[in-house]
């Protein structure tokens, strides 16, 4: 299922938290609270996927579509 604009925005914001503040745990917490811990990120660009791969190492995260 395609991401909604809201979901895309939250994933983008989480990627920015990692990129700007090096806080993958905070980004993971935001995604978990938004119900996006297992979101399909395949429609995101590679730049955002790079940061979300780091988030995906946090316990409880199961983002998909992050393959290179």
β-partners of residue 64 are 40
Sign of CA dihedral 15, 18, 21, 27: positive
Q: Where are the domains of the chain?
A: 5-55
d(CA 45, CA 31): 18
pLDDT of residue 27: 98
pLDDT of residue 68: 82
Exposed e or buried b per residue across 30-50, where buried means at least 16 C-beta atoms within 10 angstroms of its C-beta: bbeebebbebbbeebeeebbe
Q: What is the pTM of this model?
A: 0.94
pLDDT of residue 18: 98
For the stretch 4-40, pLDDT in tens is: 999 999 999 999 999 999 999 999 999 999 999 999 9
Contact 8, 44 (CB under 8 A): yes
For the stretch 37-58, pLDDT in tens is: 999 999 999 999 999 999 999 9
């Amino acid at each position: 299922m395609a991401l909604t604009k809201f979901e895309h925005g939250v994933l983008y914001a989480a990627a920015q938290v990692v990129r700007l503040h090096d806080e993958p745990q905070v980004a993971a917490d935001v995604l978990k609270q938004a119900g996006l811990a297992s979101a399909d990120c395949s429609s995101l660009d590679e730049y955002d996927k790079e940061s979300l791969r780091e988030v995906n190492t946090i316990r409880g995260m199961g983002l998909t579509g992050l393959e290179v």
